[in-house]
Amino acid sequence: MADTENGKAPEQAAAGVSRRQFLTGIGGLGVGALLGGVFVNGFLLPEEVVAIPASDGYLLVDTKKCGGCESCMLACSLVHTGRSNINLSRIQVTQNPFNAYPNVVDVVQCRQCPYPSCVDACPTGAMHADAETGVRMVDEAKCIGCERCVNACPFTPSRVQWNYEDGHAQKCDLCANTPYWNEEGGADGKQACVAVCPHNAISFTPRIPVQTDDGYQVNLRNAHWGNLMYPTT
């Protein structure tokens, strides 16, 4: 386990591991072994590795509480682009209506990786961690469309997308850049998906969530959900 509280680099990332390997291994699929509920401002990586500040916020999604209405997707594209398009949403709900609960609905969102492969992959600095909030986001003016970030995301489906209508990469910025919304978004503001979800199945947290490679362990269901006779555990 990494000693994240005092900012020391993980043991297994000792000399001989390149920054790239380190990020691939830990920023992505190895992350589950690494973190748990600890507020982290930054990581000191092995020599000649630049520390990337942790994000000040994360989205938690409780798929068992999700109603599959895709309102989050409609809201995401709306506030960012001014248009309605689930395919341009940075949060993605996929469903197979012929499966049985709890395997009907999947919701995937950017995990604001502590060691973000997308940021590492970007040759121009377009994909970056915001200086103030640490949120991993795209400076669209700097994006050259190489899609390395899209391919670098270790998750399936990739949490970084090619915005084919506007011609740049995009990913969840926790609503920092939402010109079509009257609310203040971002890690210190509101998030459109959280605001519209009918079940409050999406929630914002400033703390790095407990997680495995498959995702976070999230339960946003309280006793009132139980009163509806839905599972709360």
Partner 1 sequence: MAQGGYVGKILYVNLTDGTTEIIPTADYEQWGGGHGIGSALFFDRVKDKTVDGFHPDNLITFMTGPMSGTLAPSASGRTEITGIGVTQYPVGWFTRSNFGGRFAGMLKFAGFDGISIQGKAEKPVWINIVNDSVTIEDAAGLWGLNTHETQEEIWDIVTGQPDVREWWGIGGSRDGGRTTQKPAVVTIGPAGENLARNACVLHDSGNGGGQCGFGAVMGSKNLKAISAIGTGSVPVADPAALMELRTEIKERFGFNPDAPSLETPVPGVQLYGILNAQPGYGTLLWPPMAEGAQPQGCMGCFKNCRMNHANGYANGDICVEGLYWMASSDQNENMAATTLLDQMGLNVYDVMAHSYMLELYKQGILGPGKEIDTDLPFDKYDTYEFIESYTKAIAYREGIGDDLAEGITRAAVKWGRYEQDTATGLLNRPQWGFMEHYDPRLEVEWSYGSLFGDRDINEHGVNWHVHWMPLVTAAVGQDPLVSAEELVNLIAESTGVGDPDGWDYSVDGIYSDAKLKAVSWHRHYSRFFIQSALFCDWAWPMLVNYNAGDDHTGATPDYEIRLLNAVTGKDFTYEQAMEIGRRIWNIDRAIWVLQGRHRDMEVFQGYVYDVPTAAPYFLPIKNAEGEWVFDINVGRTLDRERFEDVKSRFYELEGWDPATGWPTRDALAALDLAFVADELEADGKLGS
Question: By CB under 8 A, which span of 112-120, 121-129, 174-182, 205-213 interacts with partner 1?
Answer: 174-182
Judged by CB under 8 A, the stretch of 17-25, 46-54, 117-125, 150-158 that binds partner 1 is 150-158
- Burial-class residue 139 by CB neighbours within 10 Å (0-12, 13-18, 19+): middle
- If binding means CB under 8 A, how many residues of this protein chain bind partner 1? 61
Determine the interface stretch with partner 1 among 6-14, 24-32, 124-132, 154-162 (rule: CB under 8 A).
Answer: 154-162
Q: Shortest CA distance to 132 belongs to which of 186, 59, 58?
A: 186
Interface with partner 1 includes 117 (CB under 8 A)? no
Tokens 């000399």 -> residue: 15
- Contact flag: residue 230 with partner 1 (CB under 8 A): yes
Which parts of 42-101 interact with partner 1 (CB under 8 A)? Answer: 64-71, 74-75, 77-79, 81-88, 92, 94-101
Nearer to partner 1, 116 or 185 (CB): 185
Take residue 65 and report the two structure tokens written for it.
């509480």
SS (H, E, C) 157-210: CCCCEEECCCCEEECCCCCCCCCCCCCCECCCCECHHHHHCCCCCEEEECCCCC
Do residues 173 and 127 lie in contact, with contact meaning Cβ atoms separated by under 8 Å?
A: no
**Could you tell me the two tokens for 228?**
């509806």
The 177-196 contact track toward partner 1, x by CB under 8 A, reads: ---xxxx--------x--xx
Nearest Cα to Cα of residue 32 among 181, 168, 208, 186: 208
Stretch that binds partner 1, among 36-44, 121-129, 208-216, 224-232 (CB under 8 A): 224-232
Backbone angles phi, psi at 212, to 5 degrees: -120, 180
Q: Does 157 bind partner 1 (CB under 8 A)?
A: yes
The contact set with partner 1 (CB under 8 A) reads: 64-71, 74-75, 77-79, 81-88, 92, 94-102, 104-106, 147, 156-158, 161-162, 164-165, 180-183, 192, 195-196, 198-200, 220, 222, 224-225, 227-231
